[in-house]
Amino acid sequence: MHVLITGGCGFIGSHLTDHCLAAGWKVTALDDLSTGSLQNVVHLAGHPNFRLVAEGTTSAGVVDELAGSCDFIFHLAAVVGVRLVVNRSVHSIENNLQGTEIVLRAAAHHRKPVLITSTSEVYGKSVDLPYREDADLLIGPPTCARWSYACGKALDEFLALGYWREQKLPVIVVRLFNTVGPRQSGEYGMVIPNFIRQALAGQPITVFGSGRQRRCFGYVGDVVKAIKALSQTPAAFGEIVNIGGTSEISIAELAQLVKHAAGSAAAIEYIPYHDAYGPSFQDMHRRVPAVDKLKRLIGFCPETPLESILFETIDWMRAVQQEPARSGLRAAAHVA
């Protein structure tokens, strides 16, 4: 089995790469190293079954050639993170729409099965919980830049399912909920790496809004296991499938938990949304996935407890902070 993983050096993509290699599969990672990082795959330097192509998914010729030489395509490459989507809307909209269009066209050209990663953001502000895959979407107005990500991903879904219906292209759409674990960067706004970084540095842990908003966090190791299992499940073709944890926690409680797990004396500070993300920002109060479809298809869903995810991620971040110079050197050697 030879798979193409777009975004293979990203947070989730690099874990999927590891998981596929561990199964004895061959992996070609396509990544423009923008939000992805060489450090996420530096341990794979010299691996006989791993190849990195440092290009973006908008390079149509490259994508077409790689699609022609693999057996399955996992499309994970995207501009992600609320902060990045809000601050660089044009770049994120263009890149995400064009990238998926090109990947799907290449998959159709070579008749290769493809899994498209979408997002729980598409459920928007819906309060019809838990979110079921066939539910209506309630996305906010275009004056609020955050919703561009949801709209773009929803359009990706329409396009993928159009290929399935019109050309019988085997496609799977997965909606990833808040996925967390080692290698996640806090740079683009994600809450857990930011809270951990702040807790370890003894800086105030910044809770946005009231802190009463709730999320379910899924362990990245469980999520990539589910993604790979779905790729081997013919009944998943033509389907949209949620992947996420189901245990809810408020962001204020999360701040306490991180502080405790990191053994930190950091204060917890509440910041209004408009100070964090600018005016006209909207957040959703709760986000919970329905996972019956996922369980029916592959027999499991992400269940690793949040405490163990936090301990593992804290250990990882401590290790990274201790040897930034050495890992930078290894990354440079890998490129050469």
| 44-52, 86-94, 204-212, 218-226 -> range binding ligand UDP (CB under 6 A) | 204-212
Q: Given the complex with ligand UDP, which of 147 and 163 has the nearer CB atom?
A: 147
Out of 80, 207, 262, 317, the only residue in the binding site for ligand UDP (CB under 6 A) is 207
Does residue number 208 form part of the binding site for ligand UDP (CB under 6 A)? Answer: yes
H or E segment at 268?
strand 268-271
C-alpha 33/C-alpha 170 separation (Å) is 28
Q: Given the complex with ligand UDP, which of 98 and 206 has the nearer CB atom?
A: 206
Among 123, 131, 149, 219, the one annotated catalytic: 149
Does residue number 262 form part of the binding site for ligand UDP (CB under 6 A)? Answer: no
Q: Given the complex with ligand UDP, which of 52 and 174 has the nearer CB atom?
A: 174
Q: Given the complex with ligand UDP, which of 73 and 191 has the nearer CB atom?
A: 191
Q: Which residues of 61-93 are buried (b: 16+ CB within 10 A; e: fewer)?
A: ebbbebbeebebbbbbbbbbbbbbbbebbeebb
- 53 φ, ψ (degrees, to nearest 5): -115, 115
For residue 170, the tally of other CB atoms under 10 A from its CB is: 18
Contact pattern for ligand UDP over residues 69 through 88, marking x by CB under 6 A: -------------x------
CA angle, 123 then 126 then 130, to 5°: 80
Out of 101, 239, 253, 283, the only residue in the binding site for ligand UDP (CB under 6 A) is 283
Nearest approach, Cβ of residue 259 and ligand UDP (Å):
13
Does residue number 178 form part of the binding site for ligand UDP (CB under 6 A)? Answer: yes
C-alpha 109/C-alpha 107 separation (Å) is 5
C-alpha 97/C-alpha 260 separation (Å) is 41
| 56-64, 131-139, 190-198, 305-313 -> range binding ligand UDP (CB under 6 A) | 190-198
| 40-48, 56-64, 106-114, 208-216 -> range binding ligand UDP (CB under 6 A) | 208-216
Q: Given the complex with ligand UDP, which of 191 and 241 has the nearer CB atom?
A: 191
114: helix, strand or coil: strand
Residues 285-304 that bind ligand UDP (CB under 6 A): none
Do the Cβ atoms of 129 and 286 come closer than 8 Å? yes
Specify whether 149 is catalytic: yes
Q: Given the complex with ligand UDP, which of 29 and 309 has the nearer CB atom?
A: 309
Does residue number 243 form part of the binding site for ligand UDP (CB under 6 A)? Answer: no
Q: Which residues of 231-265 are buried (b: 16+ CB within 10 A; e: fewer)?
A: beeeebbbbbbbbbbbeeebbbebbbbbbebbebe
Nearest approach, Cβ of residue 251 and ligand UDP (Å):
5
Beta carbons within 8 Å of 295's beta carbon, 6+ residues apart: 301
Q: How many residues bind ligand UDP (CB under 6 A)?
A: 14
Cis link prior to 130 (omega < 30° from 0)? yes
Residues 42-71 that bind ligand UDP (CB under 6 A): none
| Residue 136, CA distances (Å) to 54, 118, 126 in order | 38, 16, 8
Q: Given the complex with ligand UDP, which of 73 and 199 has the nearer CB atom?
A: 199
Does residue number 210 form part of the binding site for ligand UDP (CB under 6 A)? Answer: no
* Residue appearing with tokens 């369980």: 295
Does residue number 191 form part of the binding site for ligand UDP (CB under 6 A)? Answer: yes
Does residue number 190 form part of the binding site for ligand UDP (CB under 6 A)? Answer: yes
Binding site for ligand UDP (CB under 6 A): 82, 178, 189-191, 194, 206-209, 213, 215, 251, 283
Tell me the catalytic residues: 149
